[in-house]
Structure 1
Amino acid sequence: MSLRELPEIRAFHRVEALGFELPSEAVQSFDPSLVSAEDDADAVITIYGYIGIDPMTAVDNTERRIGGALRAIGRRDVTVNLNSPGGNFFNGLAIYNQLRLHPAKVTVNIVGMAGSAASVIAMAGDEILMGDGTSIMVHNASAIVIGNKFDTQEVGEILAEIDDAMAEIYAARAKVEKKVAADWMDRHRGNGTSFYPTTAIAKGLADGKLDPAKVKNRVSADGQKPVAAERVIERALMAAAGKSATEAKALIAEMKTGKRDAAGNIMRDADDDWTALARSLTETLKR
């Protein structure tokens, strides 16, 4: 069990029509190049990027991988190095519960961002440390719904339950009333609040600062920082398919839900010019 008194949140009914959406400001400010300098240390779990199975890269940040890592570590203290803008709440909640039930100390090092579903994971730390310039971002659950009016109503009810669950977790960690945590999430029309180290520590959402020497910038062989896959595809759609930034974001969101042949729609609008899109992706990756 966690060394702290953290709430156990029950499993949610998963709705096929629901696809989670990250706030645009979280995606824009996410820097995938920030990683821990000690990822190779013993009893360390890394969670970098999208929570869940990243639809763009297939990177696995699910409870299946984290559970396997925890079983391998056994009843020892564990360190979780975290840099994520968020993703699938259900996966994030499952990981939170796994870390909460770990029988030894859990230290969460936020080396970049703990946004959205990743902030829920971070709350499971018995000790939460934040690097300089890092953030914990909390907000109302946001989703894309593909379906009819009954699907929309069901998703609305589930999103309200998810908001309540997140508020309970943040409130328990910060030792505040649930309404206080809900107000953090409600700010800016539900886009929420970003807490940087000093404020996060003062509010009880973190315990201290991470030694700057424990964070590094990951770069590629050509010396370039990695770019989030979603941003690469967004730029390529704008260049090859003539989409606006808003249209590109919407089409990427459709891809994530898997409910529509978004890629087909994109290329029909671009005269089925797959070659142009591939060329644009290649050029974007070089930048």
Structure 2
Amino acid sequence: MSLRKLPEVQAFQKPEWLNFEPPDQNIDAFDPAVISAGADDATEISIYGQIGIDPFTAVDNSERRIAAALRAIGKRDVTVSINSPGGSFFSGLAIYNLLRAHPAKVTINVIGMAGSAASVIAMSGDETLMADGSFIMVHNASGVVVGNKFNAKDAAELLAEVDDAMAHIYAARAGVDAKTAAAWMDRRRGDGTMFNASSAIEQGLADGKVSAAAVKVKADASRAVPRERVMENALVAAASMSPQDAKAFIADLKSGTRDAPGNVTRDADDLKAAIQQLRSTIRS
């Protein structure tokens, strides 16, 4: 079990009509080039990119991979290096619970960003360290709803429950009450609070700084626009969708939900044009 008194949080049932998304501010600030210098260590787990399984890149940051890695490590101390804008809260919570239950010491190194669902994972460490220039981003849960008004109402209730669960995790880690943690999340109409290394340590969300030698930047990594954003822009440009409809359409593709909102076009010519525009955008 964890060497710290961290709360175990019950699992949530993910409805098929709700898809969690990292906020745009997290995506814009995320730098995928930042990685751990010790990634080849047998007791280190790296979590880079979106939490969950990214359907566009197949990058696996799911609880299944983390559970397999922990089984391979066994009852040894483990280091988890995080650089992620967030993603699926359900996967993030499951990973938090897995690390919380690990029988040996868990050290979390935030080497770039721990945003959204990744910030929940960052709370699971017996010791959480941050690199200079890294930050933890806490905010209200956000997602895309593909459904009717009843689904939207259910989504609002579920997101409120998720926010409450996250607030209790942050509060337990920082040694503050849940109301204080919720206020961090509620700032700027739910866009939340960004903690750099110094402020995270001061507030109790982290314990200290990781050595600069533990972090490196991939020389060949390009700061590419996330594929979701490329596709959304292509749909807006070529299929005359609104940004909201384009985001919902991409969420529909990612979740595999059969029925998208009625105002999202299914016209084959429009979709063909959007794909052509997407290819042109990627080539440029």
TM above 0.5, one fold?
Answer: yes
| Paired position in structure 2 for 1:31 | 31
Amino acid at match of 1:78: V
| Paired position in structure 2 for 1:256 | 254
Q: CA deviation at 1:22?
A: 2.2
1:7 and 1:169 in contact (8 A); partners too: yes
Amino acid at match of 2:107: T
Q: CA deviation at 1:164?
A: 0.8
TM-score (norm 2): 0.89
Cα deviation code 1:66-100 (max 9, x no counterpart): 00000000000001111111111111100000000
Amino acid at match of 2:62: T
Q: CA deviation at 1:258?
A: 2.8
**Separation in structure 2 between the aligned mates of residue 208 and residue 285 of structure 1, nearest angstrom:** 40
Q: CA deviation at 1:200?
A: 0.4
**Separation in structure 1 between the aligned mates of residue 100 and residue 17 of structure 2, nearest angstrom:** 29
| Paired position in structure 1 for 2:17 | 17
SS in 2 for 1:107: strand
**Separation in structure 2 between the aligned mates of residue 143 and residue 43 of structure 1, nearest angstrom:** 33
**Separation in structure 1 between the aligned mates of residue 81 and residue 203 of structure 2, nearest angstrom:** 21
% identical equivalent positions:
60
Cα deviation code 1:26-77 (max 9, x no counterpart): 1111111211121111201111111111122121111111000000000000
Q: CA deviation at 1:122?
A: 0.6
| Paired position in structure 1 for 2:139 | 139
For structure 1, the 5+ residue unaligned runs are none
Amino acid at match of 1:230: E
1:32 and 1:227 in contact (8 A); partners too: no
Amino acid at match of 1:31: D
SS in 1 for 2:83: strand
| Paired position in structure 2 for 1:60 | 60
For structure 2, the 5+ residue unaligned runs are none
- Alignment of 1:94 with 2:94, yes or no, is yes
| Paired position in structure 2 for 1:228 | 226
CA 1:27–1:104 in structure 2 vs 1: closer, same or farther (change >3 Å)?
same
| Paired position in structure 2 for 1:5 | 5
Q: CA deviation at 1:208?
A: 1.2
| RMSD over aligned Cα atoms | 2.4
SS in 1 for 2:190: coil
Q: CA deviation at 1:243?
A: 5.9
1:43 and 1:77 in contact (8 A); partners too: yes
SS in 2 for 1:13: coil
1:219 and 1:226 in contact (8 A); partners too: no
Amino acid at match of 1:258: G
Amino acid at match of 2:27: V
**Separation in structure 2 between the aligned mates of residue 285 and residue 41 of structure 1, nearest angstrom:** 35
CA 1:283–1:271 in structure 2 vs 1: closer, same or farther (change >3 Å)?
closer
**Separation in structure 2 between the aligned mates of residue 131 and residue 205 of structure 1, nearest angstrom:** 14
| Paired position in structure 2 for 1:77 | 77
| Paired position in structure 1 for 2:123 | 123
**Separation in structure 2 between the aligned mates of residue 219 and residue 235 of structure 1, nearest angstrom:** 28
Amino acid at match of 2:255: T
SS in 1 for 2:199: helix
**Separation in structure 1 between the aligned mates of residue 15 and residue 243 of structure 2, nearest angstrom:** 28
Q: CA deviation at 1:241?
A: 4.8
Aligned residues: 281
- Alignment of 1:200 with 2:200, yes or no, is yes
| Paired position in structure 2 for 1:271 | 269
Q: CA deviation at 1:256?
A: 2.9
**Separation in structure 1 between the aligned mates of residue 161 and residue 169 of structure 2, nearest angstrom:** 13
Higher mean alpha-carbon deviation, 120-129 vs 233-242, is at 233-242
